Structure 1
């Protein structure tokens, strides 16, 4: 019996997101981490190309999906969790639960109030809320949900074998770390989460949630080892202390624009990927805030 999973990394280039399909080779049981819906802000069109590529891979490999795992409520892409759950439930004798960390409720409450999302569309929408360090199974494999706050307060990483799927905590070494300026984000928390990650064995692979290859690197990279990060991560390599990291992270965050799909993503993702209920005219609506200068605010 193998103690290590088979890992398929599938990149969604528009949002720069890594989707993961992780399988137990002895049973062909698998989980999905952070799946993506395609969304065009120019036309408001939602499509399922990225999620359908996962379904095709699942069918090709003969996997049975046991769970759909979210690392957090993403602010830069729409999750395909609900779509995949519905499609997979039609094709197998098991409805895979959509799982996330137990602190998602505080995130849901915050953004539901901000965007006017009705309670019946987000309360209790996730099937499983993980406790910190809770373990779960993938066939004969074991996984663990690890709380990694900083980018968001609800953020989880998933440890499966010698692999940590760290979501938006650490990025590629030439990028560093994720932003901490969203509500509930905290650079000190991210420093401590990063040190927790880098306290793992040097050979552990850290699989990131995104990659945005900078000039000089053309291809996205899904993982690097703990040892790589300790030597090379521009924000987090050995020798950088908490005070230096927090100053660097806050300076960087101050110059970042908000994610292009911030408002759309949060409204869909606190619903676990379900679309808003249709109006009496059959439309499904999201709220987008207007930006007005003081002179224009009549």
Structure 2
């Protein structure tokens, strides 16, 4: 892990490699989708997209994702990647639909196979559901590197919220999923299957070794008490100085005790059942049954 961290710092030494980021916030799921592109080549990646889903009717729509398509077209961008930081439990991914509109390979961390194994059993998905990550075009390892146009990208495995969380360091910007929230809100929960507060602490501390000026783009915001606007961009320096859960000086034991106590009070996300079943399939609905309809399962007294 230390070797991968040093590679990130080396890759980011060229200050000219500063991507353009445009974020789209969905207030229904409190999710920020980020479109990041290289201003030289105009090659882009879409990170953590949202498929509109009505839990009462079971209907899906593409209004939120269509805003991204409009932006990509208007800016003349070429989408190279649809990236997921993890298999989200609070919103459905729109990546497959976006691929049909603007292209891009679908990528996620290699440990998605662990999440598929756990939730494949929970939802009794059957042998027809492959638990090998084959629903994705690329599975990234810790330290995997590629380029977005002229800008280097390094993938960091930052588990704890889930086993498969991946942060993408793209030039001077870090897209860290649910690992951290805004400094006044804290950190992600760690009580989902395969989650660990101890592991989350280590992942957060790893991220906080990035340079203070690193721009940090978050996947969610819920408005901290006393703040009346949504926010999804901060810096490593701000997180180190003032994150209410894990600022410099907070030790592992203190964090784990806080996170464990806090998680015990939280309800499951409203969309966890449809979200996980779709997202472990790379954003695709479960295979239709013999009547041509896809169904979401709800296990009783399991989660």
Correspondent of 1:102 among 110, 132, 152: 110
* Partner Cα separation in structure 1 for residue 248 and residue 114 of structure 2: 34
Matches within 5 A, 1:66-215: 66-89=80-103, 96-123=104-131, 124-215=134-225
Q: Once superposed, which parts of structure 1, at least 4 consecutive aligned residues long, lie more than 3 Å away?
A: 118-123
For structure 1, the residue ranges without an aligned partner over 5 or more in a row are 90-95, 293-298
* Partner Cα separation in structure 2 for residue 272 and residue 198 of structure 1: 29
- TM-score norm. by structure 2 comes to 0.91
- TM-score norm. by structure 1 comes to 0.93
Residue 243 of structure 1 pairs with residue 253 of structure 2:
yes
**Deviation digits for residues 106-136 of structure 1 (CA, Å, limit 9, x no counterpart):** 1112111211224444441111001111101
* Partner Cα separation in structure 2 for residue 26 and residue 119 of structure 1: 46
SS of the residue aligned with 1:167?
Answer: coil
- Shift in Å, 1:63: 0.4
Alignment correspondent of 2:35: 21
Contact 1:122 1:270 in 2 (8 A): no
217-226 or 168-177, larger mean C-alpha shift = 217-226
* Partner Cα separation in structure 2 for residue 220 and residue 121 of structure 1: 37
CA change 1:88–1:120 in 2 (3 A) is farther
Alignment correspondent of 1:92: none
Alignment RMSD: 1.5
253-262 or 210-219, larger mean C-alpha shift = 210-219
CA change 1:4–1:47 in 2 (3 A) is same
- Shift in Å, 1:272: 0.5
Count of matched residue positions in the alignment of Structure 1 and Structure 2? 286
* Partner Cα separation in structure 1 for residue 39 and residue 81 of structure 2: 16
SS of the residue aligned with 2:182?
Answer: coil
Alignment correspondent of 2:272: 262
SS of the residue aligned with 1:21?
Answer: strand
* Partner Cα separation in structure 2 for residue 62 and residue 249 of structure 1: 43
